[in-house]
Amino acid sequence: MILAWIIIIPLTGGLAAWYSGRINRAWPRWISLISLMLTFVLVLGLWVRNPVRDFSNSGATWLIEFDREWIPQLGISLHLALDGLSLLLLLLTVFLGIMSVGISWTEIRERVGFFHFNLLWILAGVMGVFLAIDLFLFYFFWELMLVPMYFLIALWGHENRRYASIKFFLFTQLSGLLMLIAILGLYFIHGRATGIYTFDYMKLLGTSIPGPAAMWLMLGFLAAFAVKLPAVPLHTWLPDAHTEAPTAGSVILAGLLLKTGAYGLMRFAVPLFPGAASDVAPIAMALAVAGIIYGAVLAFSQTDIKRLIAYTSISHMGFVLLGIFAWDRIALQGVVMQMICHGIGTGALFMIAGALQERIHTRDMEQMGGLWSKVPRMGAVMLFFALASLGLPGLGNFVGEFLVLFGTYRVTIVMTVLATAGIVIATVYALWMVQRAFHGEGREMRSVPDFSLREMALMSVMIVLLVWLGLYPQPVFDRGREALNNLQKSTAGTFRVVPDNVLRVSK
Amino acid sequence: MNAADIIILLPLIVISAAAVIVMMTIAFYRSHVLTSVLTIAGLAAAFIALLVISPMAPRSVTTVLIMDGYALFYIGLVIAAAIAVSALSFDYLKGRACNQDEYYLLLLLATLGACVLAASSHFVSFFLGLEILSVSLYALIAYLRVSERGNEAGLKYLVLAGASSAFLLFGMALVYARFGTMELAQVAQNSGAEKDLMLFTGLALIIVGAGFKLAAVPFHMWTSDVYEGAPAPVTAFVATVSKGAVFALLLRYFTVVDIRNYTALFAIFTIIAISSMFTGNLLALMQNNIKRILAYSSIAHMGYLLVAFLASGPLAINAVSFYLAAYFVTTLGAFGIITILSGKDRDADELNDYCGMAWQRPWLTGIFTAMLLSLAGIPLTAGFLGKFYVVTAGANSALWPLVIILVITSAIGLYYYLRIIIVLYEQPEHEGPGPMLQHVTLTGHFVMTALAVMLIWIGVYPSPIISIIQAAVAGLK
C-alpha cells in the first residue's frame, strides 16, 4: 500500500495546492513542499527498511509489490512494484521535485496554485511510470504526466512557449500511441498463445513472439522511449521545450522526463523483446554516438544559455542509450549512475540559468559577460556544475560516463572510441559557457543580487550529492545490482551482444 | 400482442404518454417551469420503467421491435442523455422571446424516435423511428426563429435529411424486392455471402441514409453548419442521441450479417472510416468557432467508432458500446458548457468568448478542460478508455492500417483541443467578466458537475460499466 501512497500523496497535494491558491499565494508552495517531504520520507523509509539483499537464491524480483484488480474484464490490474532501480529513480524524482518547488519560490508569481498542481501531478505521473509494471497502468501514467507538463510550458514558459509546448505534446503523444499499439499487439499475441489475456509485465515477460512481429512491437516501444530519451533523429522537440519551459519545468524535463525514456528501455523494450532489441542494437548504438557528438557540437554553437544546456542533455543521454544497448553489466551500472548524476547536474544548471534570467532578464550569453565580479557565488556554483557536466573525475558524472564507456568497450571498440570524442567536446562547451557568461568584458548593468540563502541552500545540497556520488558511489551500485541482474537474466541467451563480431574483444 | 408485450414496451409508452401529457398541459396552461418539470419527470419515469422491465428481456414484440439487453442499454443511454439535455435547456430557454414549451414536446418525440431505433428489428420500425427523430429535429434546430443561422441550419437539415430518407427508403425497397421480407434478421439470414447486385445496391443506399445521420464523410457536409446554427442544447442532442441511436441500429444489423463476409461493403466502410478520421481532424484545425470545431471532431469520432465497428466480434460490440457511452458523457459535457455560458443574443461559440475563462470560473473551466481532454483521449477521463477500447478491438481483428491511421489522426486532433484549452487559461487582456460569460444557475452547475463526475468515474473505475455492457450485449450474436 505504501507504493500507492507514494503516488496518492502528490496527487492529493496537487489538488489541495490548486484550491489553496485561491485563498493565499503562499499556501500552494508550502503544501507542495510538505507533501513532497512526506513522500520523500516514505521513499527513504523504503530504502532503510529494505536493505540490499541477495535475490539470486530466492528467485524474488521485487522488494515490495502492490497488486489490486482494476479492470478485470480486460486483464488490467493496479500492479505496482519496486526494485532497486525504481527505488533509485524514485529518490531522484522526489529530490528534484523538492528542488523544483524551491527554485520556483520567487520565480512563479501568477497562477501559483495551478502551477503547483501541475508540478505535483507531473511528479506523480513520473513516479507512477517508475513503479507501474502493468503495461496498461504504465501507459496510463506515461500519458498522465504529459498534460500537466504541457500546461507548465504553455502557461509559464518564455516567449515562444506556444510553439514549444505543442511540439512537445505532439511528439510525445504520437510516439506514446505507437507504444500503445505495440502493447496491444503483445497483449493479443500472449493472449492467443496462452489463453490468458493480461497486461501484467511479469506474465508477459518471456512471451515467444514470431520474429517480424517482435521487431514491429519492439519498434513501437522504441518509438516512445527514443522520443523521450531523446535519441538523435527524434530529439527536435527537446531544445525548444527545455528552453521555453519555466525553470522548474526545465529541471523536471531534463532531470526526470528524459529518464522515463531510459527506464522504459531498460525495463520494457529490451527485456520484453530481447531478440529484436539485439538486432537493432548496432543501429541504436550508432544513433547514441551520433547523439553524443551532435549534441555536444550543437551545444558549443548556442548563444542561448538554456538552449546550450538542453543540447548537452542530448549528448549526455547518448551515453545512456549507448550503455543500455551494450546491455553489459558494468555499462548498465554506468547508465543508472549517469541518469542520476545528469538529473542532478543538469537540473542545477537549469536552476542557475533560470536564476540568471530572473535577475538580468535574458538568456543570451552575448548579453552577459563579466558577471563573476558581480555575482561571485553564482559564478562559482556554475563553474562547479560545468565541471561536473564535462565529466571531471571525482564528481558523479565521471563515474557514470566512465562505466558506460568501460562496459561498452567490452562490446564494441569503435563506438567507445567515437563516444569518447564527445567527452572532449564537452570540455570545450562547458568551459566556454562559463567563460562567456561570467568572464570577459561585462555589460554595464545595475547591481545584480547574488544567490540568496534559499538558493545557496538548494545548490549546496546538489553539490554535496554530486561530490558524494563521485567519491563514494557504492551505495548506488549495491542498490542497482540486483535489479540490473534480474533484467539481464530475463534476456539471457536471447540478447546477443555482438554488434560487430570483428571488433569484439574477449568476453 | 399480449400483456407481456405491452409491459416490456413500458419505457416507450411512458415517453409517448409524457409527450401527450405535455401537449395537453400546454394547451391549457403555459408554464415553462411546469413543462420542463413534466418532461424531466416523464423521462425519469421511462428510465425507471426501463429498470423495472429489464428482467423480462429479451423479448420480441411482434416482428417490429425487439427489447433485448442491447436495446435496453441504448434506450437507457438515450433517455439519460435526453434528461441532461432537458435540464440544460431550461436555463438556456428561460427569458427568451419565444414559446419555450413546445421545445420540450419536440424533445420528447425525438427521444422516442431514437428509442424506437435502438429497439428496431424491422425496416418499418427503422424508418418510423428515424422519421420521428428527424422531423422533431427539423423543428428543434430552427427553434429560435429570430436566429438567421438557426433557420439556415434547420432548412439545410430538412433538405438533406429528406433526401437521405429517400435514399434509405429506396434501399429498403430494393432489399424487400429481393427477399420479400423486411425483418432485419431474415434479411441477414437470406443474404448469405452470395454476390447479389440488387442486395448490394440496396444495402449501399441504406448506408447512405445512415451515413448521413452519423455525419460520416462524405455525408458530412451539413454537420458544421447545423452544429453552429442550432441552439446549443439541440446540438448536444444531435451529436449524441441521434448519432448513437443510428449507430446502435447499424451495429445490430451488421453483427447479424458479419460485415467481413462482404468485401465490397467492408471496403466502403473502410473508406468512410478513414476519410472521416482525416477530414474531421484536418478541417477542425482551421476553425475558430467552438461549435464548428466540435462538429468536425464529432466526424472524426464517428470515424474512430467505425474502426471498432469494422473489427466486428464480441469485443468490438463492447468497444463500440463503451465508446458511445463515454462519447455521450463527454459531448454532453462539452456542449453543456457552451449552453450554460450562452447569452440571449447569441451562443458562446467563438473561441475568443472563452479567453481567460479559468480566472473567472475555475470550476466550470476545470470541467470543460476535462471534457476536451476526454475528447482528445487523455487518461483519467472516459475518452481515454474509450479510445483504448477501440484500438484494442481494432488490434484484435488485426486491422493495423486502420488502427495506425486512428492513432495518427488522433494525434493531429490533439492540436485543436489543446488550442481551446490554452485559450481558457490565457491571461485575459481586459479585467472583468467577458461579454459571453453569463450568470450560471445552480441547475447548470449541478448538471455539469454530475457529468464531470461520471466522466472521471468511467475513466478511473470503468469495471462496473464494462460489466453492464458485457451483460447487455451478450445476447447480440
Read off the pLDDT of residues B251-309 as tens digits, 9 standing for 90 and up.
Answer: 888 887 777 777 888 899 999 999 999 999 999 988 889 999 999 999 999 999 999 99
CB atoms B404 and A181 under 8 Å = yes
CA-nearest of B253, B301, B256 to B123 is B253
Residue A222 confidence (pLDDT) above 70: yes
CB atoms A188 and B470 under 8 Å = no
- Whole-angstrom Cα distance, residue B23 to residue B157? 25
CB atoms A185 and B395 under 8 Å = yes
CA-nearest of A254, A231, A264, A24 to A131 is A264
pLDDT tens digits for B52-81?
998 887 888 888 999 999 999 999 999 999
Residue A501 confidence (pLDDT) above 50: no
Residue in chain B closest to A146 (alpha carbons) equals B378
Residue B10 confidence (pLDDT) above 50: yes
Q: pLDDT band at B26, cuts 50/70/90?
A: very high
Instruction: Tell me if chain A has a CB within 8 Å of the CB of B378.
Output: yes
Instruction: Work out the percent of chain A whose per-residue pLDDT is above 90.
Output: 44
pLDDT tens digits for A235-288?
899 999 989 999 999 999 998 999 999 999 999 999 999 888 888 888 999 999
CB atoms B414 and A170 under 8 Å = yes
- Per-residue model confidence (pLDDT) at position B283: 92
- Per-residue model confidence (pLDDT) at position A64: 87
Q: How many CB atoms lie within 10 A of CB A507?
A: 6
B125-148: average pLDDT:
91
CB atoms B378 and A143 under 8 Å = yes
Of B379, B395, B467, the CB nearest to A144: B379
One-letter-per-residue 3-state SS of chain B = CCHHHHHHCHHHHHHHHHHHHHHHHHHHCCCHHHHHHHHHHHHHHHHHHHHHHHHHCCEEECCCEEECHHHHHHHHHHHHHHHHHHHHHHHHHCCCCCCCHHHHHHHHHHHHHHHHHHCECEHHHHHHHHHHHHHHHHHHHCCCCCCHHHHHHHHHHHHHHHHHHHHHHHHHHHHHHHHCCCEHHHHHHHHCCCCCHHHHHHHHHHHHHHHHHHCCCCCCCCHHHHHHHCCHHHHHHHHHHHHHHHHHHHHHHHHHHCHHHCHHHHHHHHHHHHHHHHHHHHHHCCCCEHHHHHHHHHHHHHHHHHHHHHHCCHHHHHHHHHHHHHHHHHHHHHHHHHHHHCCCCCCCCEHHHHCCHHHCCHHHHHHHHHHHHHHHCCCCCHHHHHHHHHHHHHHHCCCHHHHHHHHHHHHHHHHHHHHHHHHHHCCCCCCCCCCCCCCCCHHHHHHHHHHHHHHHHHHHCCHHHHHHHHHHHCCCC
- Per-residue model confidence (pLDDT) at position A79: 92
Q: 3-state class of A25 per DSSP?
A: coil
Count CB pairs under 8 A between chains A and B: 72
**Average pLDDT along chain A:** 87
Residue B433 confidence (pLDDT) above 60: no
CA-nearest of A187, A167, A264, A279 to A221 is A264
Residue A459 confidence (pLDDT) above 50: yes
| List of chain B residues whose C-beta atoms are within 8 Å of the C-beta of residue A115 | none
Q: pLDDT band at A109, cuts 50/70/90?
A: confident
Q: What is the gyration radius of the CA atoms in chain A, in angstroms?
A: 22
Interface of B with A in 356-375 (CB under 8 A): 358, 362, 373
Instruction: Tell me if chain A has a CB within 8 Å of the CB of B52.
Output: no
Q: pLDDT band at A500, cuts 50/70/90?
A: very low
Domain limits, chain B:
259-477
Residues of A with CB under 8 A from a CB of B: 22, 69-74, 110-111, 114, 136, 140-141, 143-144, 146-147, 150-151, 154-155, 162, 165-166, 169-170, 173-174, 177-178, 180-181, 184-185, 187-188
- Per-residue model confidence (pLDDT) at position B321: 93
Residue in chain A closest to B369 (alpha carbons) equals A147
Instruction: Tell me if chain A has a CB within 8 Å of the CB of B379.
Output: yes
| List of chain A residues whose C-beta atoms are within 8 Å of the C-beta of residue B411 | 170, 173-174, 177
- Per-residue model confidence (pLDDT) at position A183: 93
A411-427: average pLDDT:
88
CB B182 within 8 A of CB B123: yes
Residue A504 confidence (pLDDT) above 50: no
pLDDT tens digits for A315-349?
999 999 999 998 888 899 999 999 999 999 999 99
CB atoms A169 and B391 under 8 Å = no
- Per-residue model confidence (pLDDT) at position A502: 38
| List of chain B residues whose C-beta atoms are within 8 Å of the C-beta of residue A155 | 422, 425
| List of chain B residues whose C-beta atoms are within 8 Å of the C-beta of residue A170 | 411, 414-415
B418-445: average pLDDT:
73
- Per-residue model confidence (pLDDT) at position A444: 65
A499-506: average pLDDT:
42
Residue A499 confidence (pLDDT) above 60: no
Closest approach of A170 to chain B, Cα-based (Å) = 6
Residue B428 confidence (pLDDT) above 70: no
| List of chain B residues whose C-beta atoms are within 8 Å of the C-beta of residue A146 | 378
pLDDT tens digits for A65-84?
888 889 888 889 999 999 88
pLDDT tens digits for A5-56?
999 999 999 999 988 888 888 888 999 999 999 999 999 998 888 877 766 6
Residue B196 confidence (pLDDT) above 90: no
**Average pLDDT along chain B:** 89
| List of chain A residues whose C-beta atoms are within 8 Å of the C-beta of residue B390 | none
Domain limits, chain A:
1-49+62-272, 281-507
Q: pLDDT band at B386, cuts 50/70/90?
A: very high
Mutation target to probe the B interface, by most B beta carbons within 10 A, among A23, A136, A140, A149 is A140
Residue A90 confidence (pLDDT) above 90: yes
Mutation target to probe the B interface, by most B beta carbons within 10 A, among A74, A114, A118 is A74
Interface of B with A in 446-465 (CB under 8 A): 461-463
- Per-residue model confidence (pLDDT) at position B438: 65
CB atoms A73 and B466 under 8 Å = yes
